Amino acid sequence: MARLDRLRRLTVRDHQLLRWLAEHYVLSTDQVATALFPSLRAARLRLAQLHQMEAVSRFVDVTTGSGQYLYTLGPLGAVVHPTQFNDPNQAGARAPRTSIDRTERIIGSRRLAHLLGTNQLFIDLIGHARTHEHARLARWWSEQHTTAAFAAASYAAGSGTGVQPDGHGIWHAHGRTVGFFLEHDNGTEPLATVLRKLRGYQQLATYGPRYPVLLRVPGRRREHHLLDALAGVPTAMPVATGLHSEHPAGPAWTLTTDPGHRHRLHELPSDHGPDNPATNPHHFPDDPSGLRVGRSESGPD
Protein backbone atom coordinates (compact mmCIF):
# COMPACT_ATOMS: atom_id res chain seq x y z
CA MET A 1 0.00 0.00 0.00
CA ALA A 2 1.42 3.37 -1.03
CA ARG A 3 2.35 5.79 1.76
CA LEU A 4 -0.19 8.40 0.62
CA ASP A 5 -2.99 5.82 0.73
CA ARG A 6 -1.98 4.81 4.26
CA LEU A 7 -1.88 8.44 5.40
CA ARG A 8 -5.39 8.95 4.05
CA ARG A 9 -6.63 6.02 6.11
CA LEU A 10 -5.58 7.59 9.41
CA THR A 11 -8.55 8.82 11.46
CA VAL A 12 -8.74 11.72 13.91
CA ARG A 13 -8.36 9.19 16.72
CA ASP A 14 -5.32 7.64 15.03
CA HIS A 15 -3.67 11.06 14.81
CA GLN A 16 -4.32 11.64 18.52
CA LEU A 17 -2.62 8.34 19.35
CA LEU A 18 0.36 9.16 17.15
CA ARG A 19 0.73 12.58 18.82
CA TRP A 20 0.88 10.89 22.20
CA LEU A 21 3.40 8.29 21.05
CA ALA A 22 5.56 11.04 19.56
CA GLU A 23 5.77 12.86 22.89
CA HIS A 24 5.29 10.14 25.50
CA TYR A 25 7.19 7.33 23.76
CA VAL A 26 5.15 4.29 24.71
CA LEU A 27 1.63 3.18 25.62
CA SER A 28 0.25 -0.26 26.43
CA THR A 29 -2.76 -1.87 24.79
CA ASP A 30 -4.80 -1.31 27.95
CA GLN A 31 -3.78 2.35 28.12
CA VAL A 32 -4.75 2.98 24.49
CA ALA A 33 -8.10 1.25 25.05
CA THR A 34 -8.85 3.28 28.18
CA ALA A 35 -8.08 6.60 26.51
CA LEU A 36 -9.51 6.17 23.02
CA PHE A 37 -11.73 3.14 22.45
CA PRO A 38 -15.11 1.83 23.59
CA SER A 39 -13.66 -1.61 24.37
CA LEU A 40 -10.41 -3.54 24.61
CA ARG A 41 -11.43 -5.62 21.59
CA ALA A 42 -11.97 -2.51 19.46
CA ALA A 43 -8.57 -1.18 20.51
CA ARG A 44 -6.82 -4.43 19.62
CA LEU A 45 -8.44 -4.58 16.20
CA ARG A 46 -7.50 -1.02 15.27
CA LEU A 47 -3.99 -1.30 16.71
CA ALA A 48 -3.44 -4.42 14.60
CA GLN A 49 -4.48 -2.44 11.52
CA LEU A 50 -2.21 0.46 12.46
CA HIS A 51 0.66 -1.97 12.95
CA GLN A 52 0.01 -3.49 9.53
CA MET A 53 0.02 0.04 8.06
CA GLU A 54 3.34 0.71 9.89
CA ALA A 55 1.81 3.67 11.72
CA VAL A 56 2.85 2.05 15.02
CA SER A 57 5.46 -0.46 16.10
CA ARG A 58 4.80 -2.96 18.87
CA PHE A 59 6.68 -5.25 21.22
CA VAL A 60 5.75 -7.50 24.12
CA ASP A 61 5.84 -5.96 27.58
CA VAL A 62 8.45 -7.76 29.69
CA THR A 63 8.64 -5.06 32.39
CA THR A 64 5.39 -5.80 34.21
CA GLY A 65 4.80 -9.42 33.26
CA SER A 66 1.46 -8.54 31.62
CA GLY A 67 2.50 -9.98 28.26
CA GLN A 68 0.49 -7.33 26.41
CA TYR A 69 1.80 -5.30 23.52
CA LEU A 70 3.44 -1.94 24.03
CA TYR A 71 3.24 0.57 21.17
CA THR A 72 5.63 3.19 19.82
CA LEU A 73 5.71 5.24 16.62
CA GLY A 74 6.16 3.17 13.48
CA PRO A 75 7.74 4.33 10.19
CA LEU A 76 4.50 5.97 9.02
CA GLY A 77 3.97 7.59 12.41
CA ALA A 78 7.47 9.05 12.24
CA VAL A 79 6.56 10.62 8.88
CA VAL A 80 3.55 12.30 10.51
CA HIS A 81 5.64 13.40 13.53
CA PRO A 82 9.24 13.90 12.35
CA THR A 83 10.10 16.14 15.34
CA GLN A 84 9.13 13.66 18.05
CA PHE A 85 11.16 13.16 21.23
CA ASN A 86 13.80 10.58 20.45
CA ASP A 87 15.44 9.17 23.57
CA PRO A 88 13.85 8.70 27.02
CA ASN A 89 17.29 8.46 28.64
CA GLN A 90 18.87 11.56 27.12
CA ALA A 91 16.97 14.61 25.92
CA GLY A 92 19.81 15.87 23.73
CA ALA A 93 20.60 12.57 22.07
CA ARG A 94 21.21 12.49 18.33
CA ALA A 95 18.07 11.80 16.35
CA PRO A 96 17.71 8.13 15.37
CA ARG A 97 18.20 7.21 11.74
CA THR A 98 14.93 5.28 11.61
CA SER A 99 11.81 4.63 13.69
CA ILE A 100 13.26 1.19 14.41
CA ASP A 101 16.27 2.83 16.06
CA ARG A 102 13.91 4.96 18.14
CA THR A 103 11.86 1.92 19.19
CA GLU A 104 15.03 0.06 20.18
CA ARG A 105 16.04 2.96 22.41
CA ILE A 106 12.67 2.79 24.16
CA ILE A 107 12.70 -1.01 24.52
CA GLY A 108 16.22 -0.87 25.96
CA SER A 109 15.59 2.10 28.22
CA ARG A 110 16.09 1.57 31.93
CA ARG A 111 13.16 3.98 32.34
CA LEU A 112 10.59 1.93 30.44
CA ALA A 113 8.60 0.87 33.51
CA HIS A 114 8.83 4.42 34.84
CA LEU A 115 7.46 5.82 31.55
CA LEU A 116 4.51 3.42 31.65
CA GLY A 117 3.77 4.32 35.27
CA THR A 118 3.98 8.05 34.58
CA ASN A 119 1.72 7.78 31.53
CA GLN A 120 -0.83 5.74 33.50
CA LEU A 121 -1.86 8.70 35.65
CA PHE A 122 -2.68 10.79 32.60
CA ILE A 123 -4.42 7.90 30.87
CA ASP A 124 -6.60 7.39 33.95
CA LEU A 125 -7.58 11.07 33.89
CA ILE A 126 -8.42 10.89 30.18
CA GLY A 127 -10.49 7.76 30.74
CA HIS A 128 -12.36 9.49 33.57
CA ALA A 129 -13.07 12.52 31.38
CA ARG A 130 -14.62 10.30 28.69
CA THR A 131 -17.45 9.38 31.06
CA HIS A 132 -17.73 12.64 33.03
CA GLU A 133 -18.78 15.61 30.94
CA HIS A 134 -17.62 18.13 33.55
CA ALA A 135 -14.02 16.86 33.40
CA ARG A 136 -11.21 17.40 30.90
CA LEU A 137 -7.46 16.94 30.76
CA ALA A 138 -6.52 20.17 29.00
CA ARG A 139 -2.77 19.55 28.95
CA TRP A 140 -0.49 16.52 29.07
CA TRP A 141 3.19 17.31 28.78
CA SER A 142 6.04 14.82 29.03
CA GLU A 143 9.15 15.28 31.15
CA GLN A 144 11.17 16.60 28.22
CA HIS A 145 8.40 18.95 27.04
CA THR A 146 7.86 20.32 30.55
CA THR A 147 11.56 20.74 31.24
CA ALA A 148 12.08 22.67 27.99
CA ALA A 149 9.01 24.88 28.44
CA PHE A 150 9.78 25.89 32.01
CA ALA A 151 13.48 26.28 31.27
CA ALA A 152 12.46 28.89 28.69
CA ALA A 153 10.20 30.55 31.26
CA SER A 154 13.03 30.46 33.81
CA TYR A 155 15.40 32.13 31.35
CA ALA A 156 12.82 34.81 30.52
CA ALA A 157 12.38 35.52 34.24
CA GLY A 158 16.13 35.85 34.78
CA SER A 159 16.39 32.66 36.84
CA GLY A 160 19.11 30.11 36.29
CA THR A 161 17.12 27.09 37.38
CA GLY A 162 14.18 25.08 36.14
CA VAL A 163 12.15 22.03 37.02
CA GLN A 164 12.29 18.51 35.66
CA PRO A 165 9.08 16.71 36.67
CA ASP A 166 8.07 13.38 35.18
CA GLY A 167 5.00 15.04 33.68
CA HIS A 168 2.81 18.12 33.83
CA GLY A 169 -0.91 18.48 33.32
CA ILE A 170 -3.84 20.86 33.62
CA TRP A 171 -7.06 19.30 34.87
CA HIS A 172 -10.57 20.81 34.63
CA ALA A 173 -13.32 19.38 36.86
CA HIS A 174 -16.36 20.71 38.73
CA GLY A 175 -15.66 24.27 37.59
CA ARG A 176 -12.05 24.34 38.81
CA THR A 177 -8.79 24.31 36.88
CA VAL A 178 -5.80 22.74 38.60
CA GLY A 179 -2.33 22.55 37.15
CA PHE A 180 0.04 19.94 38.56
CA PHE A 181 3.53 18.51 38.32
CA LEU A 182 3.96 14.76 38.68
CA GLU A 183 6.86 13.03 40.39
CA HIS A 184 6.27 9.32 39.79
CA ASP A 185 8.15 7.33 42.42
CA ASN A 186 8.72 3.59 42.12
CA GLY A 187 10.28 3.39 45.58
CA THR A 188 13.79 2.83 44.23
CA GLU A 189 15.31 6.19 45.27
CA PRO A 190 16.23 7.27 48.79
CA LEU A 191 13.69 9.64 50.33
CA ALA A 192 16.36 12.35 50.47
CA THR A 193 16.67 12.21 46.66
CA VAL A 194 12.91 12.58 46.26
CA LEU A 195 12.83 15.54 48.64
CA ARG A 196 15.71 17.29 46.86
CA LYS A 197 13.53 17.47 43.74
CA LEU A 198 11.34 20.00 45.53
CA ARG A 199 14.10 22.63 45.47
CA GLY A 200 13.55 23.45 41.81
CA TYR A 201 9.87 24.08 42.47
CA GLN A 202 10.82 26.51 45.21
CA GLN A 203 12.59 28.64 42.61
CA LEU A 204 9.76 28.32 40.07
CA ALA A 205 7.29 29.70 42.61
CA THR A 206 9.09 33.05 42.53
CA TYR A 207 8.16 33.76 38.90
CA GLY A 208 5.73 31.13 37.66
CA PRO A 209 2.68 29.13 38.63
CA ARG A 210 2.27 27.48 42.01
CA TYR A 211 0.89 24.14 40.99
CA PRO A 212 0.71 21.19 43.39
CA VAL A 213 3.58 18.74 43.15
CA LEU A 214 2.16 15.21 43.19
CA LEU A 215 4.46 12.65 44.79
CA ARG A 216 2.93 9.36 43.63
CA VAL A 217 4.36 6.35 45.43
CA PRO A 218 3.84 2.57 45.34
CA GLY A 219 2.64 1.98 48.92
CA ARG A 220 1.31 3.43 52.19
CA ARG A 221 4.55 2.92 54.06
CA ARG A 222 6.48 5.00 51.53
CA GLU A 223 3.77 7.65 51.64
CA HIS A 224 3.83 7.83 55.45
CA HIS A 225 7.60 8.25 55.43
CA LEU A 226 7.30 11.15 52.97
CA LEU A 227 4.56 12.81 55.00
CA ASP A 228 6.62 12.45 58.17
CA ALA A 229 9.68 13.93 56.44
CA LEU A 230 7.67 16.91 55.18
CA ALA A 231 5.66 17.53 58.36
CA GLY A 232 6.00 21.18 59.32
CA VAL A 233 8.33 21.93 56.40
CA PRO A 234 7.15 25.05 54.52
CA THR A 235 7.08 24.62 50.74
CA ALA A 236 6.42 27.32 48.16
CA MET A 237 4.41 24.85 46.10
CA PRO A 238 1.60 22.72 47.54
CA VAL A 239 2.85 19.14 47.86
CA ALA A 240 0.53 16.14 47.90
CA THR A 241 1.20 12.42 48.14
CA GLY A 242 -0.79 9.63 46.53
CA LEU A 243 -0.62 5.95 45.67
CA HIS A 244 -0.17 4.25 42.30
CA SER A 245 -3.23 2.09 43.03
CA GLU A 246 -5.65 4.99 43.59
CA HIS A 247 -7.49 6.76 40.79
CA PRO A 248 -5.94 10.22 40.39
CA ALA A 249 -9.28 11.99 39.83
CA GLY A 250 -10.70 10.67 43.09
CA PRO A 251 -9.93 11.36 46.77
CA ALA A 252 -6.39 10.09 46.32
CA TRP A 253 -4.21 13.03 47.44
CA THR A 254 -2.93 13.97 50.88
CA LEU A 255 -1.55 17.48 51.24
CA THR A 256 1.54 17.64 53.43
CA THR A 257 -0.08 20.58 55.22
CA ASP A 258 -3.29 18.61 55.87
CA PRO A 259 -2.30 14.97 56.42
CA GLY A 260 -5.62 14.04 57.99
CA HIS A 261 -7.66 14.37 54.79
CA ARG A 262 -7.57 13.02 51.26
CA HIS A 263 -8.54 15.34 48.43
CA ARG A 264 -9.71 14.97 44.86
CA LEU A 265 -7.36 16.34 42.24
CA HIS A 266 -9.63 19.27 41.38
CA GLU A 267 -9.77 20.23 45.07
CA LEU A 268 -6.02 20.82 45.42
CA PRO A 269 -4.79 24.43 45.71
CA SER A 270 -3.50 25.78 42.41
CA ASP A 271 -2.28 29.25 41.43
CA HIS A 272 -1.61 29.88 37.73
CA GLY A 273 0.80 32.68 38.59
CA PRO A 274 1.59 35.80 36.58
CA ASP A 275 0.15 36.45 33.14
CA ASN A 276 3.16 34.89 31.46
CA PRO A 277 2.59 33.17 28.09
CA ALA A 278 5.26 30.63 28.94
CA THR A 279 3.50 29.47 32.10
CA ASN A 280 -0.15 30.52 32.03
CA PRO A 281 -2.56 27.79 30.85
CA HIS A 282 -4.98 30.31 29.36
CA HIS A 283 -2.45 31.00 26.62
CA PHE A 284 -2.82 27.41 25.38
CA PRO A 285 -6.51 27.11 24.40
CA ASP A 286 -5.66 24.75 21.54
CA ASP A 287 -2.79 22.88 23.14
CA PRO A 288 -2.34 19.82 20.88
CA SER A 289 -1.12 17.74 23.82
CA GLY A 290 -4.53 18.04 25.50
CA LEU A 291 -7.30 15.53 25.01
CA ARG A 292 -9.40 16.29 21.96
CA VAL A 293 -11.13 12.97 21.62
CA GLY A 294 -14.25 13.04 23.78
CA ARG A 295 -17.10 10.63 24.18
CA SER A 296 -18.81 11.77 20.98
CA GLU A 297 -15.56 11.92 19.02
CA SER A 298 -14.09 8.54 19.79
CA GLY A 299 -14.64 7.34 16.23
CA PRO A 300 -15.80 4.00 14.91
CA ASP A 301 -14.84 0.72 16.48
Residue 181's nearest CA partner among 122, 132, 227 is 122
What long-range pairs does 8-16 form, CB within 8 A, spacing at least 24? 9/53, 10/55, 10/80, 11/299, 11/300, 12/292, 12/293, 12/297, 12/299, 13/46, 13/293, 13/297, 13/298, 13/299, 14/46, 14/50, 14/55, 15/80, 16/291, 16/292, 16/293
CA–CA gap between residue 288 and residue 82 (Å, rounded): 16
How high is the mean pLDDT in each 10-residue block of the chain (301 residues)?
88 97 96 98 98 96 82 94 82 79 89 94 98 96 91 62 89 96 92 87 86 96 94 90 97 94 97 63 43 38 37
Architecture of domain 3-110: Orthogonal Bundle (1.10)
Q: pTM for the whole thing? A: 0.89
Task: Summarize pLDDT for 37-96 with one digit per residue, the tens.
Answer: 999 999 999 999 999 999 999 999 877 777 889 999 999 999 999 878 887 887 777 777
CA–CA gap between residue 132 and residue 224 (Å, rounded): 31
CA–CA gap between residue 241 and residue 248 (Å, rounded): 11
Domain with CATH 1.10.10.10 in the chain: 3-110
Distance from chain centroid for Cα 289: 10
Q: How many C-beta atoms lie closer than 10 Å to residue 232's C-beta? A: 6
